Amino acid sequence: MKMVVDGMEALKSNIDKYMCNANESVHLKMIRGVSDLEDESKAFHPDMSHQIFGEKEQIFGYQNLRINIYYTACKLQTFVELKYSDKIDPKTHYEIKPDDVMSNMKEVIPPGCCWSVDQFTHQIQCDASFLPHGEMVHQYRRTAKTGVEQVFEMFNPSIARYPGFKEYHDRMQTLMMWFIDAASYIDVDDDKWEYYTIYEKVSDETGKFVYYFVGYCTAYNFYAYPEHCRPRIAQFIVIPTYQRQGHATETVDFIQKRFLSRSNIRDICVEDPSENFQRIRDYIDCKNSINLDCFHPDKLSNGYSSDMFKECNEKLKLNKRQSRRVYEIIRLKHTNVLDEKSYKPYRLEVKRRLNQPFSAKAYMKNMKTLMPSDEERCKILEKEFCELLEAYLPIVERLKRDGL
């Protein structure tokens, strides 16, 4: 019996060495020049891979697996390469087969992908001729850590008006599968979609401008009765090499203000935002709302009111849920959390809102779970309140840092 157990453990150990972490195995790069092909400092890993390789984000059957997925930094032409030091042999491992990596990745390999370095090198050399599709709608600047001023431009292309953008979008959207949870490809034949692409504009040695891809955002224009529109920001990505530089805040703020200029907008929404995106949105909406009359410090202690929603909706097209969230953050900014006299009214008002789903009426409407006891409800409310504070406080600190 011991020999059987030992044999099973040895087999398991032998098989386990062929198990790879998918996120660590995938190496993404934005290639500006041929020298970047061998420059490991240019590589970055995906945030997630479960949409390609399954919930456990593992790949079986290889040792020292490396999946290179390289994009040219302008046109986003793609090169895919699979490398490994050893691959499991079904003949010697009880017919256990390795995962079919390329088959699993078929959704993230765009048409026209290069499979040889020589072919991809040619694409790199063609990259400098790229000009972004669409109308340039916004320009902004950033100062790099080196002190160099960088110029960024945002474009608003469309599938119908700009030949070649559909193919460009096909390549561009493959990136989101590695960085946006529950991502799915959109129907580009639906003209209610809007697209915004962001590039760094760099002058080369000849004085010609080169446009390096930074990220993109899509929004969908939902119909609202009788003749209005409810734009919803749906997908947004900034590639890791440009993250934490303010591009997301700049982009979302601009797009929201662009929507505000349209007379038929009912409100502006975001589709299932991640925690990071919700934080960006909260900051932008608080920054734009903080000087509204309804949020004057003298009025905050009176509680959230219909007048607050009305002014936020009329001037910034915020829906009721987001306007209430903005109110709670701005009120927290004017609340001394170390002074119980100041902090207690704030805490109680937020908890009253959090308690609404526990009302008898709400439970009669949706009897999926039993009404919790008072003790359980208090614990739930305290937990939810603490989670809100954890989300709100960084926004408050950023507002104060910015002198708002």
Q: Are residues 151 and 244 in the same domain?
A: yes
Look at residues 95, 128, 161 and tell me which one is the last residue of a structural domain. 128
Q: What is the CATH number of the domain that holds 123?
A: 3.90.360.10
Mean pLDDT throughout 352-380?
A: 75
φ, ψ at 91 (rounded to 5°): -65, -30
Report d(CA 25, CA 83) in Å as an integer: 10
Q: Are residues 135 and 260 in the same domain?
A: yes
Report d(CA 391, CA 393) in Å as an integer: 6
Q: Are residues 76 and 194 in the same domain?
A: no
Q: Are residues 210 and 323 in the same domain?
A: no
Domain range for residue 194?
Answer: 131-272
Residue recorded with tokens 């150990």: 13
| Partners of 59 in the β-ladder | 20
Active site residue 390: no
Task: Pull the structure tokens for residue 39.
Answer: 């420059």
Q: How confident is the model at residue 6 (pLDDT cuts 50, 70, 90)?
A: very low
More confident residue, 359 or 222: 222
Report d(CA 374, CA 325) in Å as an integer: 26
Least confident stretch, 3-7, 18-22, 85-89: 3-7
Q: Are residues 144 and 123 in the same domain?
A: no
Report d(CA 365, CA 230) in Å as an integer: 28
> Of these residues, 9, 271, 382, 387, which one is catalytic?
271
Instruction: Encode the chain in three state secondary structure.
Output: CHHHHHHHHHHHHHHHCCEEEHHHHEEEEEECCHHHHHCHHHCECCCCCHHHHCCCCEEECEECCEEEEEEECCCCCEEEEEECCEECCCCCCCCCCCCCHHHHCHHHCCCCCECCHHHHHHHHHHHHHCCCCCEEEEEEEEECCCCCEEEEEEEECCCCCCCCHHHHHHHHHHHHHHCCCCCCCCCCCCCCEEEEEEEEEEECCCCCEEEEEEEEEEEEEEEECCCEEEEEEEEEEECHHHCCCCHHHHHHHHHHHHHHCCCCECCCEECCCCHHHHHHHHHHHHHHHCCCHHHCHHHHCCCCCHHHHHHHHHHHCCCHHHHHHHHHHHHHHCCCCCCHHHHHHHHHHHHHHHHHHHCHHHHHHCCCCCCCCHHHHHHHHHHHHHHHHHHHHHHHHHHHHCCC
Q: Are residues 123 and 254 in the same domain?
A: no
More confident residue, 218 or 9: 218
Residue 289 placed within a domain? no
Residue 226 placed within a domain? yes
Mean pLDDT throughout 96-105?
A: 94
Residue 6 placed within a domain? no
Q: Are residues 349 and 227 in the same domain?
A: no
Contacts of 383 (CB under 8 A, 6+ apart): none
Q: What pLDDT score was predicted for residue 212?
A: 98
Q: Are residues 268 and 347 in the same domain?
A: no
Mean pLDDT throughout 317-323?
A: 96
Q: What percent of the chain shows pLDDT beyond 90?
A: 83
Q: How confident is the model at residue 48 (pLDDT cuts 50, 70, 90)?
A: very high
pLDDT per position as a tens digit, 234-247 = 999 999 999 999 99
Of 186, 2, 169, nearest to 76 by C-alpha is 169
Q: How confident is the model at residue 311 (pLDDT cuts 50, 70, 90)?
A: very high
Task: Pull the structure tokens for residue 298.
Answer: 């003298």
Q: What pLDDT score was predicted for residue 10?
A: 52
Rama region for 220: left / alpha / beta (φ>0; ψ in -120 to 50; rest): beta
Number of domains in the chain: 3
Report d(CA 251, CA 249) in Å as an integer: 6
Look at residues 108, 128, 148 and tell me which one is the last residue of a structural domain. 128
Residue 4 placed within a domain? no
Q: Are residues 339 and 357 in the same domain?
A: yes
Q: How confident is the model at residue 360 (pLDDT cuts 50, 70, 90)?
A: low
Report d(CA 276, CA 399) in Å as an integer: 16
Of 199, 230, 237, nearest to 216 by C-alpha is 237
> Quick one: CA torsion of 332, 292, 400, 140, rounded to 10 degrees?
140
Q: What pLDDT score was predicted for residue 232?
A: 95
Q: What pLDDT score was predicted for residue 1?
A: 47
Q: Are residues 158 and 265 in the same domain?
A: yes
Report d(CA 295, CA 161) in Å as an integer: 43
Residue 34 placed within a domain? yes
